[in-house]
Amino acid sequence: MWEVISEVILITIFAPVGAFYRWLSSFGGKPYRYYLNLDGYFNGTIGMVVTALLVMLAFRLFG
């Protein structure tokens, strides 16, 4: 049950965020849609990890 919920969260919430981070890291060399249409699990993982790192950094600096 939790596996299904975590996969849905990974793909629906963090995949667009991860695609955005990948698009930013390429300095806009390819359209955002290109990264969004790539592997959703990879984008989701990138989105989740980078967001967690940014939140930890923000709490460390401003907390």
Mind listing the pLDDT tens digit of every residue in the chain (63 residues)? 788 888 888 788 999 999 999 999 999 889 999 999 998 889 999 999 999 999 999 999 997
Distances (CA, A) of 15 to 9, 29, 60, 62: 9, 19, 26, 27
Confidence (pTM): 0.81
Query: Residue 54's pLDDT is what?
Result: 96
Query: Residue 33's pLDDT is what?
Result: 94
Query: Residue 43's pLDDT is what?
Result: 93
Distances (CA, A) of 34 to 1, 23, 26, 42, 48: 31, 9, 12, 14, 19
Query: Residue 5's pLDDT is what?
Result: 86
Rounded to the nearest 10°, the torsion over CA 8, 13, 14, 19 is 110
Whole-number Å distance between alpha carbons of 41 and 47: 10
